[in-house]
A and B are shown apart, each in its own frame.
Chain A
Amino acid sequence: MAEARPGEVSDEQLAMAAAGGDRRALELLLDRHVDRVHAVCRRVVLHQEDALDATQEGLLAVSRGIGRFDGRSRFTTWLHRVATNAALDELRRKRRRPVTGHLEDVAAGAGERVAAAGASRDPGRTPMDGVDARLDVDAALAQVPEEFRVAVVLRDLADLDYGEIAEVLDVPLGTVKSRVNRGRAVLRAALGNPKAVAGRRTETP
């Protein structure tokens, strides 16, 4: 995902310029981070089309709210808050809709697909290989409770530290750690990672 390289204008500089009405700065900023927003939305929403909708809403929220960015926190922290909220809003909208939700479908098929992936896995292959693995990841993520999933996505995909995640989610640091650890455990188990089994064993006396 795009970051400002040495010699490039920083995110914060661009954001302040955009907040001052510089449309080109806003465009550069959005272009730099659109993949980042999409990645977060994709792994929270677990559906390609809905993730694109959430990404669009997230970018629109950045456009509308950039005037309120005051530079006191990192731009990426603020961006992830916006992206996460857009993704969660999309999930909420989906739950309100009368049509069958994809999340339920993904979750229903998750066990079977993850099991199939585990059965076909050879010793040298990681759970992340190939196109099937991407489906496996969605299915596995669907088994992770939403608030844990968001925490894991922000930590392991977006690479935010725990303090930033606490700021994004507006929860205490301890809660973030708990959610990340629990989310990872469920995710690893769903992906068939043996280390997760060891982790889960510690839960049973």
Chain B
Amino acid sequence: MTDRTPAPPDPGAAGDARDPELAAALGVPPLDETTRRRLVRRATAEAEGAPPAARDTRAQPVSRLAAATGVAAVLLVGAVVGAVVVSRPDDSTPTAARASSTAPTTAAAPAPESADTESAAPGVVTSAPPRHLGDLGPIAGTGALRRAVDARLDAVAGDRAAAEAVPPCTPADPQVVGLVLVSAVGTVELDGQPRTVLVGPTPVGREQIVVVEQQGCAVLDRIDL
């Protein structure tokens, strides 16, 4: 059937009027409040991150400065913690506790989720292993991936890493993929392609999913959680 051939008479509608019966049939219930808010919040957050012509350009240097400060703070804390560990190898005090007594807190670096910070001092970035999300299976689209990671994060809360099953391209240094730390890792077949997903806070405090190519380990996508 093509729309170039003459149209049949329209028995249910007078002329060009809306068909009330079909209008009722096609009606879709409104979204629940949580879903509405989530959709709108993500869209407006994206608008802040995107460079439309009308956006207030004064905000951009400030954001860059904040990001740079955050990264610098993380590096500084890492260096101090490393130095303490190296200089006191036989100290029985837990590393994180030692760090808390020597290192400044990092305001720009959000602490990881509670499951990973049970032994950590407040505000100190720990090297706790990331939670393992496992294989998320075949997923189509970034929206579906976001929801799958969301759900899996809830499901694995409190479950520490399965060290024997580290997904490919899990970086030793989270900054390689632009995260302050990697709080969770997993694998997925995203739109038919094998990918590794890394979850963690960015230097400006957003919780983000980073999608990484398993061969070559290139960052392919970033999705705000």
Contact = CB atoms under 8 A, between A and B. Distances in A.
Interface of A: 1, 18-21, 23, 26-27, 30-31, 34-35, 38-39, 42-43, 49-50, 52-53, 55-57, 59-60, 62-68, 90, 93-94, 96-99, 126-128, 133, 137, 141, 145, 147-148, 152-153, 155-157, 159, 161-162, 175, 177-182, 184-188, 191, 193, 195-196, 198-200, 202-203
B36 A26 contact: no
Contact of A193 (B6, B12, B141): B12
B18 A155 contact: yes
Contacts of B26: 39, 43, 137, 141, 152-153, 156-157
A-side interface mostly: helix
B164 interface: no
A182 B3 contact: yes
B43 A159 contact: no
A93 B54 CA distance: 30
Nearest to A127: B25
Contacts of A50: 140-141
Contacts of B46: 60, 63-64
Contact of A178 (B7, B12, B30, B48): B7
A66 B1 contact: no
Interface string B120-146: 000000000000000000101111100
B165 interface: no
A191 to B, nearest CB: 7
A59 B38 CA distance: 11
A62 B11 CA distance: 37
Given A57-B143, A156-B26, A188-B11, 9 more contacts: A30-B40, A30-B44, A31-B40, A63-B47, A98-B192, A128-B25, A157-B26, A162-B16, A182-B3
20 contacts: A30-B39, A38-B39, A52-B143, A56-B39, A59-B39, A63-B50, A67-B53, A67-B54, A68-B53, A99-B138, A126-B24, A128-B21, A128-B24, A128-B27, A155-B19, A157-B28, A159-B23, A161-B16, A184-B12, A185-B8
B191 interface: yes
B9 interface: yes
Contact of B43 (A56, A68, A202): A56
B40 A181 contact: no
B62 interface: no
B206 interface: no
A179 B47 contact: no
Given A23-B47, A56-B39, A94-B140, A133 B52 contact: no
Nearest to B54: A67
B35 interface: yes
Nearest first, the 7 closest Cβ-Cβ pairs linking A and B are A53-B143, A59-B43, A63-B47, A67-B52, A39-B28, A67-B54, A157-B26
B172 interface: no
B56 interface: yes
Nearest to B19: A156
A177 B36 CA distance: 33
Contact of B8 (A26, A34, A181): A181
Given A20-B54, A153-B26, A195-B12, A178 B36 contact: no
B7 A60 contact: no
